[in-house]
């Protein structure tokens, strides 16, 4: 390859466009890593509509991670105390297929499960759904997106009748008031934040409100920072609604014409007067009133949220309570307004489209709906009733399934649960009990590889061609432009080969990923996420947003390329929703607080999160020098008042203990964290630091609707060491 390639960043849900140049093209200026290997040059793609040439440190340095610590060959071992031995793909496939066939004949397919990833391309996701939910007849496919944004999915479905963030990034530059709750956008979605910050600086009348117990870099840029107590989000949101109602900042015509269930909601918010709410949230009445005034006096309000809202035992209720504010003020379906969930993973959105959670089917369908099952069965050529009517195991169900012996085979791909799952000691014990674990990943070693019986080397970004959808529904093609190392294969090819060896030759007869994608988009026809007009061929010319039905085809993209400005597509501009009556539903929720509130024995609330440079469990970023220098070690943030009470000084080692485990960190004494709360970054697993795993402390209590665990908060005690 001699020319640069346009692709999409494989880290976060912002989905920035990248342009990658081969090392040889750079001549004398060739960059080299610390081992002297030439490094591909990466820069932002100025033509990409979502990122407009911007790129953060992760995207800019991605090429430095590509050749380090790669898994080259399939390997197997009979038990976890034995060494791995290299095998051919043939032998590895035989072992896997035999194991699957045996389980189908003995315990049934329900003993088989797969835990996938928002790092998958859509083609990988789709093949896995066809294999598990179609051919094997079990819905036991879940992804790490369960830990990331399943509350947003549930909230959108319950409020609007369908999943799908209704906004686009252009709204960041059209809003009068940006309301950011439970999102450290500056560090976790940096390019979205750059767009908002630039616009905010130019337009001082625009208000930015940030709700977060930490004074993050995002909060630093706000006009109003509400450092609420963890677990009081619904109090705050209902308190704002109470004031909007009291001050008559509500859109009665919109409520009457476009919504249902408002009386039940009005009855709930009556109980959230400002004095009570301010006390509960630990903020002043003035600040609460300012937030309500900013919201009520703005023509266009955009709310943004991510894990701080979703990772909660009342995550779906929180999402719906945010949406309620938009419904009561008519702030949806117009430029600069709407409830906008920011996805964490680069292709969590594509996973949702392809049915990549255990209660979903492709094309924004749900397992429980008989018509949806029948449509997919017919499309896949399966006999009626082949798809199980029962939602499959969620991520945490797989752990409990291993504990109680209901899981006979777990297949983990492109994710690292031995760092990212809650209650790690319990998670690891369960993984140790697994009768048969397949671990399919690009990298080796990882923490999870230690629990595998079979290792399958996966090709990764830059080595396989496939599609990802970002938070604003922008679909971008990521083409292969390098050879995978050793015998690594694209994930979708591995799933398809297992399907063929199980006897489903016709169902998995794909020559390339473009054919896989072409089949997948047919299943989105006449669905809210209609992508029937999108193909690899179209995406080679430009990224495109869905919905994009067949009839629009290539012309629209061509007109965009001829410099007609992109008009970002919004959902619900006609103010009709996907519910049976076409109305958006208010959800009426009282605040329940944290699943594990602090008490005299465990008096602090631990909250966890990400740092600007690192990505999740460091399988990539832990091998990039610049990022490791930026974030050399984990830490625990403690407020000076709490530190003084406990006699903790800056940099002193502190043991953080919860009911489930303990971990040690140097203290970072800072006013950036509210008193009574402590913060630990989640990136360090056992490979990177001893006893510094944030998830040794967290618990798996989950939202009853989304089944997303409350990774964001648990009760801890601090012991100086
Ligand atoms: Fe990649 Fe996200 Fe950074 Fe964009 S903001 S370059 S998608 S990590």
Distance, in Å, from the CA atom of 367 to the CA atom of 134, rounded to the nearest integer, reads 11
CA distances from 401 to 96, 134, 394, 395, 439 (A): 20, 21, 10, 10, 17
Number of H-type helices and E-type strands within the chain: 25, 30
Round the CA-based radius of gyration of the chain to a whole number and report it.
Answer: 24
* Closest protein CA for atom 2 of ligand 1: 12
* Closest protein CA for atom 3 of ligand 1: 56
* 491-501 vs 513-522: helix crossing angle, rounded to 10: 80
This prediction has a pTM of: 0.95
Asked whether residue 574 carries a pLDDT value surpassing 80, the answer given is yes
Ligand 1 atom index nearest CA of 189: 5
Please enumerate in sequence order all residues whose Cβ is within 8 A of that of 613, keeping only pairs 6 or more positions apart, or say none. 57, 58, 621, 626, 627, 630, 631
Distance, in Å, from the CA atom of 693 to the CA atom of 130, rounded to the nearest integer, reads 35
Q: Give the model's confidence band at 28: pLDDT under 50 very low, under 70 low, under 90 confident, else very high.
A: low
* Tens digits of residue pLDDT in 291-302: 999 999 999 999
Q: Best substitution site from 43, 184, 189, 472 to test ligand 1's pocket, by max atoms within 8 Å of Cβ?
A: 189
| CA–centroid distance, residue 539 to ligand 1 (Å) | 20
Asked whether residue 564 carries a pLDDT value surpassing 60, the answer given is no
Considering the domain 5-65, what is its CATH architecture? Sandwich (2.60)
* Tens digits of residue pLDDT in 444-491: 999 999 999 999 999 999 999 999 999 999 999 999 999 999 999 999
| CA–centroid distance, residue 222 to ligand 1 (Å) | 22
Residue ranges around ligand 1 (CB below 6 Å): 9, 11-12, 14-16, 51, 55-56, 58-59, 190-191
Distance, in Å, from the CA atom of 228 to the CA atom of 151, rounded to the nearest integer, reads 20
* Alpha-helical segments (H) within 37-119: 57-61, 89-105
Stronger pLDDT, 145 or 25, i.e. the higher one:
145
* Preceding amide of 498 cis, omega within 30: no
pLDDT of residue 22: 87
| ipTM for the whole complex | 1.00
* Closest protein CA for atom 4 of ligand 1: 16
Residue percentage of the chain with pLDDT more than 90: 93
pLDDT of residue 550: 86
| CA–centroid distance, residue 512 to ligand 1 (Å) | 27
Residue 553, exposed/middle/buried by CB under 10 A (0-12, 13-18, 19+)?
A: middle
* Tens digits of residue pLDDT in 390-435: 999 999 999 999 999 999 999 999 999 999 999 999 999 999 999 9
In the CATH hierarchy, which top-level class contains the domain 75-142+354-532? alpha beta
**Which 8-state DSSP code applies to residue 265?**
H
* Ramachandran assignment for 316, one of left (phi > 0), alpha (psi -120 to 50 degrees), beta (any other): alpha
Ligand 1 atom index nearest CA of 59: 6
Q: Answer for the pair 694, 663: CB distance below 8 angstroms, yes or no.
A: yes
Mean pLDDT for 708-713 is 97
- Per CATH, the number for 150-342 is 3.40.228.10
Distance, in Å, from the CA atom of 681 to the CA atom of 614, rounded to the nearest integer, reads 10
Q: Which helix (H) or strand (E) holds 259?
A: strand 259-260
pLDDT of residue 567: 45
Ligand 1 atom index nearest CA of 55: 6
Considering the domain 604-720, what is its CATH architecture? Beta Barrel (2.40)
Q: What is the DSSP string of 49-62?
A: TTTTT---HHHHHG
Domain boundaries, the chain: 5-65, 75-142+354-532, 150-342, 604-720
Q: Answer for the pair 444, 473: CB distance below 8 angstroms, yes or no.
A: no
Q: Give the model's confidence band at 25: pLDDT under 50 very low, under 70 low, under 90 confident, else very high.
A: low
Ligand 1 atom index nearest CA of 62: 1
Q: Give the model's confidence band at 563: pLDDT under 50 very low, under 70 low, under 90 confident, else very high.
A: very low
Ligand 1 atom index nearest CA of 44: 6
Please enumerate in sequence order all residues whose Cβ is within 8 A of that of 428, keeping only pairs 6 or more positions apart, or say none. 418, 451
Please enumerate in sequence order all residues whose Cβ is within 8 A of that of 441, keeping only pairs 6 or more positions apart, or say none. 71, 412, 413, 414, 416, 448, 449, 455, 456, 457, 458, 619
pLDDT of residue 2: 58
| CA–centroid distance, residue 370 to ligand 1 (Å) | 39
């Amino acid at each position: 390859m001699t020319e640069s390639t346009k692709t999409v960043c494989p880290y976060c849900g912002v989905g920035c466009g990248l342009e990658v140049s081969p090392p040889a093209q750079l001549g004398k200026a060739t960059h080299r890593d610390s081992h002297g290997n030439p490094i591909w040059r990466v820069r932002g793609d100025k033509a990409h509509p979502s990122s407009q040439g911007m790129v953060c440190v992760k995207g800019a340095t991605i090429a430095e991670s590509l050749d380090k610590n790669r898994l080259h060959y399939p390997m197997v071992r009979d038990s976890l105390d034995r060494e791995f031995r290299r095998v051919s793909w043939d032998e590895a496939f035989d072992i896997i297929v035999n194991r699957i066939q045996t389980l189908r004949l003995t315990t049934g397919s329900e003993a088989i499960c797969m835990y996938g990833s928002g790092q998958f391309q859509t083609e990988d996701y789709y093949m896995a759904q066809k294999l598990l939910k179609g051919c094997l007849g079990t819905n036991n496919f879940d992804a790490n997106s369960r830990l990331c944004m399943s509350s947003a999915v549930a909230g959108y479905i319950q409020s609007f009748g369908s999943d799908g963030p209704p906004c686009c990034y252009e709204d960041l530059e059209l809003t009068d008031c940006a309301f950011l709750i439970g999102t450290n956008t500056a560090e976790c979605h940096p390019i979205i934040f750059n767009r908002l910050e630039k616009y905010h600086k130019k337009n001082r009348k625009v208000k930015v409100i940030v709700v977060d117990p930490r004074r993050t870099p995002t909060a630093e840029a706000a006009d109003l920072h509400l450092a609420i107590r963890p677990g009081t989000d619904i109090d705050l949101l209902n308190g704002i609604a109470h004031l909007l109602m009291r001050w008559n900042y509500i859109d009665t015509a919109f409520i009457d014409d476009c919504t249902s269930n408002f009386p039940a909601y009005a009855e709930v918010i009556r109980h959230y007067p400002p004095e009570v709410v301010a006390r509960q949230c630990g903020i002043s009445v003035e600040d609460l009133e300012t937030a309500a005034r900013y919201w009520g006096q703005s023509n266009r309000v955009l709310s943004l949220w991510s894990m701080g809202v979703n990772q909660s035992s009342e995550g779906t209720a929180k999402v719906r309570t945010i949406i309620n504010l938009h419904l009561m003020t008519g702030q949806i379906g117009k430029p600069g307004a709407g409830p906008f969930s920011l996805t964490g993973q680069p292709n969590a959105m594509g996973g949702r489209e392809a049915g990549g959670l255990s209660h979903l089917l492709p094309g924004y369908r749900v397992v429980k709906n008989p018509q949806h099952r029948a449509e997919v069965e017919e499309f896949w050529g399966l006999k009626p009733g082949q798809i199980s009517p029962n939602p499959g195991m969620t991520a945490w169900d797989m752990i409990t399934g291993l504990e109680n012996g209901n899981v006979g085979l777990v297949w983990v791909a492109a994710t690292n649960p031995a760092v990212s799952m809650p209650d790690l000691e319990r998670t690891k014990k369960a993984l140790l009990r697994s009768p048969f674990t397949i671990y399919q990943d690009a990298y080796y070693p990882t923490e999870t590889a230690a629990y595998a019986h079979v290792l399958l080397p996966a090709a990764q970004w830059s080595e396989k061609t496939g599609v990802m959808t970002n938070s604003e529904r922008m679909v971008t093609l990521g083409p292969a432009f390098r050879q995978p190392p050793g015998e690594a294969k694209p994930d979708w090819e591995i799933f398809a080969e297992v399907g063929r060896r199980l006897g489903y030759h016709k169902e998995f007869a794909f020559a390339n990923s473009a054919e896989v994608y072409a089949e997948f988009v047919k299943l989105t026809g006449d669905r809210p996420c209609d992508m029937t007009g999108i193909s690899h061929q179209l995406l080679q010319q430009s990224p495109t947003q869905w919905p994009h039905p067949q009839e629009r085809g290539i012309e629209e993209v061509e007109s965009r390329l001829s410099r007609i400005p992109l008009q970002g597509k919004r959902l619900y501009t006609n103010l009709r929703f996907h519910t049976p009556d076409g109305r958006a539903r208010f959800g009426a929720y009282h605040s329940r607080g944290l699943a594990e509130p602090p008490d005299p024995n465990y008096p602090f609330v631990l909250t966890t999160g990400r740092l600007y440079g690192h990505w999740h469990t460091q399988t990539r970023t832990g091998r990039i020098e610049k990022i490791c220098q930026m974030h050399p070690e984990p830490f625990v943030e403690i407020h000076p008042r709490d530190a003084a009470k406990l006699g903790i000084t800056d940099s002193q080692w502190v043991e953080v203990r919860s009911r489930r485990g303990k971990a040690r960190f140097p203290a970072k004494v800072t006013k950036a964290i509210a008193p009574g709360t402590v913060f630990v970054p989640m990136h360090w697993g056992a490979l990177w630091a001893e006893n510094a795993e944030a998830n040794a402390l967290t618990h798996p209590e989950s939202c009853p609707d989304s089944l997303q665990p409350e990774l964001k908060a648990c009760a801890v005690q601090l012991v100086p060491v």
